[in-house]
Amino acid sequence: EPEVTQTPSHQVTQMGQEVILRCVPISNHLYFYWYRQILGQKVEFLVSFYNNEISEKSEIFDDQFSVERPDGSNFTLKIRSTKLEDSAMYFCASSGPVGEGTEAFFGQGTRLTVV
Amino acid sequence: RKEVEQDPGPFNVPEGATVAFNCTYSNSASQSFFWYRQDCRKEPKLLMSVYSSGNEDGRFTAQLNRASQYISLLIRDSKLSDSATYLCVVIDTGGGNKLTFGTGTQLKVEL
């Protein structure tokens, strides 16, 4: 069964450092997403990506964040200068075209710990 | 008003019980609705889509009331393995196909 894969599963970084979280979405999907979940809190939308550009982003997704699809398979989230409050589980997801199975499938997540 | 609202629970029920979760959403233009399940420290996993006519998958029944902007999930004959957080998810019209999550309802099924 096709699945979304994320690497690494756990990343520890020092405050102020840059991190790149990597995702390989399901191959025939067109929409890609990043979500985050701070421990004990709800799943929060960060950004959606379609047709090689950002289609929507939340207030959380400020100038410190960027996304990229550098090749035909990877989808990355970069945090330029991490803060303590960026510590969370980051989930990548992908979905098909609207109207054709719009359900999104999630990767297993990257647990980011900023120290 | 929150975009997607759920009772956080926890709901503690005995094995075999029937339990129902409710969810309300604020955007009347929302187009697609789902229930996801999330186990502790794991990713959300699709449980079922919610259709206007209502739909059933084994012990699980989902219903949508567009007029009241209300979604429900019914679990019959609950099992210990049903213990998890159940997330109500809504996709709005407009660009991005963004999924908006409720806070989740925690279910604990006990012996």
Contact B96 A50 (CB under 8 A): yes
Disruptive mutation site among B51, B98, B100, B105 for chain A (greatest number of A CBs within 10 Å):
B98
Give the Cα separation of B25 and B89 in Å (integer).
Answer: 9
For B9-54, write each residue's pLDDT tens digit: 899 999 999 999 999 999 888 888 999 999 998 999 999 999 888 8
pLDDT at A101: 56
Cβ neighbors of B73 (< 8 A, separation 6 or more) are B20, B21, B23, B35, B47, B60, B61, B62, B86, B88
CA angle A5, B62, B21 (to 5 degrees): 90
pLDDT at A13: 98
Sign of CA dihedral B47, B52, B55, B60: positive
B45 part of contact set with chain A, CB < 8 Å:
yes
CA-based nearest distance A19→chain B, Å: 21
Q: Are B101 and B62 in contact (CB under 8 A)?
A: no
Judged against a pLDDT cut of 70, whether residue A88 lies above it is answered with yes
**How does residue A99 score in pLDDT terms, banded at 50, 70 and 90?**
low
Judged against a pLDDT cut of 90, whether residue B63 lies above it is answered with yes
Q: Are B88 and B102 in contact (CB under 8 A)?
A: yes
Q: Tell me how many residue pairs between chain A and chain B have CB atoms under 8 A apart.
A: 56
The total of other beta-carbon atoms located within 10 Å of residue B81's CB is 8
For B64-93, write each residue's pLDDT tens digit: 999 999 999 999 999 999 999 999 999 876
| Mean pLDDT, residues A44-73 | 93
H/E stretch holding A12 reads strand A10-13
Q: What is the mean pLDDT of chain A?
A: 93
Contact B98 A104 (CB under 8 A): no
Contact A43 B101 (CB under 8 A): yes
Sign of CA dihedral B83, B50, A96, B89: negative
Give the amino acid at B82.
D
